[in-house]
Amino acid sequence: MFTEAQLYSPVTTGADGDVTVHLSDEHPGVHDADYRARRNAIAALALGYRTGEPVPRIEYTAEEQEVWRIVSAELARKRAKYACAEVIEAANRLGLPADRIPQLDEVSAKLVPLTGFRYVPAAGLVPLREFFGSFADRVFHSTQYIRHHSAPLYTPEPDAVHEILGHANQLASPRFAALYETVGAAVARITTDTALKFLADVFWFSMEFGVLREHGEIRCYGAGLLSSYGEIEEFREAELRPLNIREMGTRVYDITHYQPVLYCAESIGEIEDVVGAFFESMTDDTVAELTAPA
């Protein structure tokens, strides 16, 4: 999930119980009545899900499976070239199918033995406190819909490709999974909206859009980069800055464009020492200090 309020298509339930996903005017599927009906049906299944119940399975259409095949093959090729070794090894161990969309319970069945993370369904935006807080229990809220078939390599919103090929491939690494858990533990300590937003923004510039130097090359580990056909390559054009928690937590960014500034770690150990240590110790007070005017 991105930071995400502006990005997810809003989902509403009418008085008659009908669930509607409101696509933006620029969404590639906005004029496709079948796609819109499909999105409404998938969102309704997620909204009906209750903790402890079996996760709803989606009967994906041939068209949706074809989208997955195309984007999965392209991202695997790009991952080999641009992702860091930790992610490549994690993705190999996870072994997601390339020929069809995995159901969320299949993703969980593969992830749990590796790092204990489980996937549960989300209709769209999950409140930030719930989304990040659930990492403490190694639970990840994931959408199940797929981008529109007219643009298989593009999506204006996080879809199953982002959630699974981005986040699950990252969450298959014990080191990255441990970082997510520290995020969840931090949410239990903080109470202010300022601290929650700060946490979300540090997460954005690390676990979503983080890069690191590996054997002299810049490689990505962020889920947002790993799942973006265009940005996984273009990130090499970004201005790279050293990890800086204050900057990462306060930087204003535009989620609709490629990120012009990215924060580059020198190693995974540095991500753990700087970003992980921050999540481990952050409180409302430390954020108040970091965001206080100089």
Q: Which residue is nearest to Fe ion (CB)?
A: 1
HSE of 152, CA atoms in CB hemisphere, 13 A: 14
CA distance 4 to 129: 12
Site string for Fe ion, 1-40 (x = CB under 5 A): x---------------------------------------
Which CB, 210 or 290, lies closer to Fe ion? 210
Catalytic residue among 208, 228, 231, 272: 208
Q: How far is the CB of 289 from Fe ion (least distance, A)?
A: 28
Which CB, 213 or 251, lies closer to Fe ion? 251
Is 227 considered catalytic here?
yes
CA distance 174 to 171: 7
Q: How far is the CB of 158 from Fe ion (least distance, A)?
A: 5
Q: Which two tokens stand for residue 215?
A: 């054997």
Q: How far is the CB of 62 from Fe ion (least distance, A)?
A: 27
Helix (H) or strand (E) holding 19: strand 19-21
Q: How far is the CB of 179 from Fe ion (least distance, A)?
A: 14
Is 257 considered catalytic here?
no
Which CB, 1 or 290, lies closer to Fe ion? 1
Cα four-point dihedral sign 38, 57, 116, 229:
negative
Which CB, 197 or 213, lies closer to Fe ion? 197
Is 27 considered catalytic here?
no
Q: How far is the CB of 122 from Fe ion (least distance, A)?
A: 11
- Provide CB contacts within 8 A for 79, sequence distance 6+: 87, 88, 91, 169, 226, 232
Catalytic residue among 72, 162, 228, 272: 162
Catalytic residue among 134, 206, 227, 228: 227
Q: How far is the CB of 198 from Fe ion (least distance, A)?
A: 17
**Phi, psi for 185 (deg, rounded to 5):** -65, -35
Catalytic residue among 27, 141, 148, 167: 167
Which CB, 1 or 122, lies closer to Fe ion? 1
**Phi, psi for 244 (deg, rounded to 5):** -155, 105
User: Which residues, 188 to 217, sit near Fe ion by CB under 5 A?
Assistant: none
CA distance 112 to 174: 11
HSE of 286, CA atoms in CB hemisphere, 13 A: 16
Burial class (CB in 10 A: 0-12, 13-18, 19+), 149: middle
Alpha carbon distances (Å) from 119 to 22, 54, 131, 153, 220? 24, 11, 12, 24, 23
Is 150 considered catalytic here?
no
Which CB, 1 or 42, lies closer to Fe ion? 1
**Binding stretches for Fe ion (CB under 5 A):** 1
Q: Catalytic residues, which ones?
A: 162, 167, 208, 227
